[in-house]
């Protein structure tokens, strides 16, 4: 799926954001509602709305845009 860039009208292509921590690769795949809340074991996300993230990059101006569509 491709979209038109809202900044320069170039063609945007779908991709994903990669997280690297301690040599491990992980895809940032979810949007979590609300502000970041830290817990002793990581982040507090229980009971919060979670949606999959789609990310697009413009081939002309390199702008990134992410969406979290409802299922």
For 40-67, the pLDDT digits (tens) are: 888 898 999 999 999 999 999 999 999 9
Question: Is 31:53 a contact under the CB 8 Å cutoff?
Answer: yes
* pTM strictly above 0.85: no
Residue where the block lists tokens 């979670």 = 50
How many angstroms separate the CA atoms of 64 and 12, rounded? Answer: 9
Strands annotated E in 1-71: 2-4, 11-15, 18-21, 24-27, 30-32, 38-39, 42-43, 50-52, 54-58, 64-67
Would you say residue 19 has pLDDT above 90?
Answer: no
Question: At a CB cut-off of 8 Å and minimum separation 6, what does 61 contact?
Answer: 5, 7, 8, 10
Would you say residue 17 has pLDDT above 70?
Answer: yes
Would you say residue 71 has pLDDT above 80?
Answer: no
Q: Which domain holds residue 55?
A: 2-67
Q: How many separate domains does the chain show?
A: 1
């Amino acid at each position: 799926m491709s979209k038109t860039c809202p900044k320069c009208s170039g063609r945007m292509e779908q991709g994903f954001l990669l997280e690297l921590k301690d040599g491990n690769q992980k895809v940032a795949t979810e949007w979590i509602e609300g502000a970041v809340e830290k817990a002793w074991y990581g982040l507090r996300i229980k009971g919060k709305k979670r949606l999959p993230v789609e990310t697009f990059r413009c081939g002309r101006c390199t702008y990134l845009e992410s969406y979290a569509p409802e299922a």
